[in-house]
Chain A
Amino acid sequence: MIGEIVMLVGALLILLAAIGVIRFDDVLARMHALAKGSTLGVVLMLAGAAISLHVANDITSLVLAAVIQLLASPPASNLLSRATYLADHIPRRVDVVDERRHADGADDTD
């Protein structure tokens, strides 16, 4: 029962990420919405499944998938947002502080 509730919370986080991807009007904002869902939402769903199941083999697979997702998903989002910032012809908007502008390798022209 507790595992199913945790899985439902994770699914609701993925739904929130989907609503954010639909409604936000900027590539970087959409990526911000998806990165939360792809780490916490999926890890909550896998943790709920690991609570509900009782075979050690299944629990090992779920924990391994959760650890890999936690380790690999944020760097992928970081790479994609960096490429979006650097690429031409992609509309983007930085509100207050643009820290990437003066980093190494960034264009100072635009």
Chain B
Amino acid sequence: MSDVTFVVLTVAAVLFTVRLCVGPTLADRVIALNGIVLAGMGAIANQAVVTGNGDFLPALVAIALVGPISTGMIARYLERNRE
């Protein structure tokens, strides 16, 4: 079942990557990058379950702290850029 979870996360990451390359505006690309980070978080948690080794789990805390902050910073940048 963990293999199926990995496959699902990989397909999701590929779809987010397509939106990252296609996306017409900066906001689309920020959304796609956010989604890729989500798939990575899920993959780290799944890998910890598969191997039974939780050494990488504190990285999840760091990613969860940094991701929304970066989104907020890009949002401020977008908002400041209006005419």
Residues of A within 8 A of B (CB): 1, 3-5, 7-8, 10-12, 14-15, 17-19, 21-22, 27, 30-31, 34, 37-38, 41-42, 45-46, 48-49, 52-53, 55, 57-58, 61-62, 64-66, 68-69, 72-73, 75-77, 79-80, 82-84, 86-91
Contact = CB atoms under 8 A, between A and B. Distances in A.
17 contacts: A7-B2, A11-B46, A17-B12, A18-B35, A18-B39, A22-B18, A30-B31, A48-B45, A48-B49, A49-B48, A61-B58, A62-B45, A65-B64, A69-B64, A77-B71, A80-B72, A87-B82
B interface bracket (residues with beta carbon within 8 Å of A): 35 or more
A41 B38 contact: yes
A100 B32 CA distance: 25
A1 B5 CA distance: 13
Given A18-B13, A49-B46, A68-B61, 19 more contacts: A7-B45, A12-B8, A14-B12, A17-B12, A22-B18, A27-B25, A34-B31, A45-B41, A46-B60, A53-B49, A61-B54, A61-B58, A61-B61, A73-B67, A75-B72, A76-B67, A80-B71, A84-B27, A88-B83
Contacts of A89: 25
B82 to A, nearest CB: 5
B48 A17 contact: no
A72 B15 contact: no
A76 B9 contact: no
Contact of A15 (B1, B11, B27, B49): B11
Interface in B49-63: 49, 52, 54, 57-58, 60-61, 63
